[in-house]
Structure 1
Amino acid sequence: MALDPEDLNAVFSSMAEGLVVIDNQQRVEALNQAGGVFLRIAPKQAMGMLIGDLLKLYHIEHNEQILWPVERLMKLDITRIHIWDHIYCENKIGKLFPITMMATPLLTAHAVSGAVILFRDATDEARADQAKSDFVAVASHQLQTPLTAIKLFAEMLDQDANELSEGQRREYLQLLRSSTERMIKLVNEMLNVSRLEAGAFRIQPEPTDLVVFIKGILKELGSLAKERSCILTFSEPSESLGALLIDTALLSQVLFNLVENAMRYSTKNTRHVTIKLEKKTARGEYAIHIEDNGIGISSGDRKRIFTKFFRADSARKIKSNGSGLGLYVVKMIVEAWGGTISFTSQTGVGTVFSVTIPAGGMEPRKGIKQLIQT
């Protein structure tokens, strides 16, 4: 069907992307509503402006303004869409924001009479690109330490083999093994982050007695608790909870991480960690609390505690080589099964992390991957 001018104007105004039409003199002939919102200018006010004054473009890396390639724009192949990205635009209130821009010559009566420019805010893409760059940079830095240690101990075993005592060889081999295990743990954590962020992992709940399950977790952690002079206590509910649909692999990962952290980050001679299970009455959900008498989390670190690669200053003083991925992964797992995670903390007194599970248990979810136990 043919569209009349009124219909075309409706289409023009309804577009989510900014659209500008310019003439051969580089002056604006039309600007749609979305473009006006992006640029903080009324479309009528933009009429007749030079395109370089309306759309001020910048190379952010070089901190320099881009001159509009008007002559080249008019000579572009009309059968192709020409795209500019990794550029920034300055709106009328002086704010720079990343845009992706597409342009093509405007052909009327078999002659180029101007150009049509389509643009959109690319802030989300820019943030995603920056997050990927940060992830690679931090991951490379984290991997460098264990890899350097592996190389060093391997060279010592190779070059000084005849001069080393049996005890020294055992020591270097143990250090080599520890560095290798640390690197494997870090790689597995990064793989889990990738799977969690992509939403590509499975949730496979099965009927589980939470009391029996948590007792099993604490039994597995018994030797580590003894090694760290930690007293583990389980406070179970007075009433029977029955079976609940739980993905035991995911819950294990969450509890191991939280309980190990609780045991690790303490400077006291005798460490106490209490796991409490309760059924909340408000919404019928289940809550697991992990309470310690450790170093606590400072007020300045609390807002960032679940951020990827973040480690609190107090934690770094006790254990310098953590990845900063543990709590980030825990939060994503808990939220994926429909639960919540929160904490209260007092510096020098201790911290309580609380994890909830929906009243009906975890919902199954299809996926191509399982998370790796770390």
Structure 2
Amino acid sequence: MLSRTSYTAFVVAIALSAPATAQSIDRSSVWAANKQAVVKINVTGRNPAGASVPMRKGSGVIVRPNGVIVTALHVIGDDAEWSETPDGRDRRIEIIGLDGNGIEHSLGTASARAVPAYDLAILTITASNLLAATVADTPPAELSSVVAIIWDPGSHQPEPVSADLVPTDASRFRDNLTLRLAVVEGHSGSGVFNADNKLIGIITNQLDANRALAAPVFAFNHLLPPPQRARPTEQDVAQCEADARKTRVDREAFSVSDGVRCQNMGDNQQGTVQYNAPPGYSIVGQVQRVDETNYGSVGPLRYTRDGGRVSSVSADVSCSTPNRPFGPGGWSNATLNGFIERSLAQDELAEIRRTCLAQ
């Protein structure tokens, strides 16, 4: 029987020797960030003997927006497993992804190359502006919690699954990652993500009923093309152009006043207050109108356009004198206040747009 002291020491020893339990991470966050970066892969073709090969199925992860995908090599098969043709190998690698509404659609067919020393392959399709996973640039923490996004061959959508990293038998599996995760045939090529929603590995093998092996991202990251700079949206370009124009134009204020006066009994007068922008300048923004009237009125502002610029602004003024022998006459005055800017030449505008598109 253990004494109290011995029992306490025994419990402490168990606690110190027990494996740490990783704190689970938010699967929904990983899923939201990477669901369109996960693809399903179907492979068909003929073997060297000319016989049709049963369809191979697996998953992959888009790692570049221009159509670079990483998967497990055995999903697509080594080149030697396929019949050789004048155009390469008798192997068709179809890539299926999700659109913005979560509907499956084909992304096309891929070419492939193997990653040396690992059960990995890099696929390339003709594409642009795909949603791609961010590849982690640091190794995952030991015994950390991760999320695998697995696309079962019989399902129409991938699914995020919680998993934990556990110690790897380096004598057998070198620097591969070992996961506490149940996988089956067809799950190879699935991505493994950390708490920062970044890709840390690609599932390659089932070790047993409760463990899987994943190749780390540093096995292939150096073989990928440099990340593409995100293409600016039209909204970004428009804002850039507006900011650039402000630095190049000369802005000046203007103010012009005019009016009419009715002095005789029963008199009626009409006129116009108008401002014309100088050649090469355009009226910008809203023009402010200040009115002073007595038995008079000022009409709404009218803008005149000359091509792409506002060349003038005007308003009608009118007055009348009551039909009586005594009393003040009528008048109507209006002042127009605003700004003009020098209009940029077409070559200047083209230069600004080229610069904004290149940013």
**TM-score, normalising length from structure 1?**
0.24
User: Whose strand proportion is higher, 1 or 2?
Assistant: 2
